[in-house]
Amino acid sequence: MLRILKSLFGGNRPSSAAKAAQDPQGFKSLPPSDSPQSYADCLTEILASYDGFSRSQIAGVLSHLPEMATGLHFGIHPEQGGEGGFSVLIDVQGPDSYVINKAVSDYRYLFTVKRVPGGLNVAVPFFYSDDVDFEVNDVIADTTMEWVTRLWGLVGRGYPSLEVLAFCEDDWGNPPAIWLQGEPA
């Protein structure tokens, strides 16, 4: 399985899609949604447009996974202000965390919304937290956990021994964490 992944996604080089995703593009933000459901629908569509890139990133992590790795944590990290920025990255679990994460460093980021010169690197709705009557970060957490769960089901089935968790920083979401496989006793 690892041989197949390496042949598809190369050796230690990041994919061209990974490099393109890191280049600032300066998109204007989309208009804020007026309800949690419309925001979730918009985010679902945006995240789905990153499926190919994110699946290749997960496959890259799996193909470069050190033998001592015991699990993966998919972390969803919303910005503190609740304006709509967030990142999704993979953290490899096991002894000597620095070393095992360094081995997969080119493949850890699945999605990132950040400010760049001229706007945002991804066109997403941005909010002023006082102007909405719902928790933007809860919607980000719930929608993104569903996306990560779907991606793991497509890419990670060949790794049943790994404990895999999706969580949202600062306990956003309902629930704030879910085990995708191998929940510890």
Rounded to whole angstroms, how far apart are CA atoms 56 and 29? 26
User: Is the model more confident about 185 or about 173?
Assistant: 173
Which of the four pLDDT bands, split at 50, 70 and 90, describes residue 129?
low
The model's pTM: 0.82
**In which residue are the tokens 């490899």 written?**
92
Which of the four pLDDT bands, split at 50, 70 and 90, describes residue 30?
confident
pLDDT for residue 185: 64
User: Is the model more confident about 25 or about 134?
Assistant: 134
**For a pLDDT cut of 70, what percent of the chain falls above it?**
85
Instruction: Please state whether beta strands 163-168 and 119-120 pair in parallel, antiparallel, or not at all (unpaired).
Output: unpaired
pLDDT for residue 104: 96
What does the pLDDT average to over 62-91? 93
- Mean predicted lDDT score pLDDT of the chain: 84
pLDDT for residue 151: 97
Distances, alpha carbon 13 to alpha carbons 8, 35, 159, in Å: 12, 41, 23
Instruction: Give SS3 for 65.
Output: coil
Rounded to whole angstroms, how far apart are CA atoms 60 and 6? 8
Neighbours of 147 (CB within 10 A): 24
pLDDT for residue 14: 38
Contact 6, 107 (CB under 8 A): no
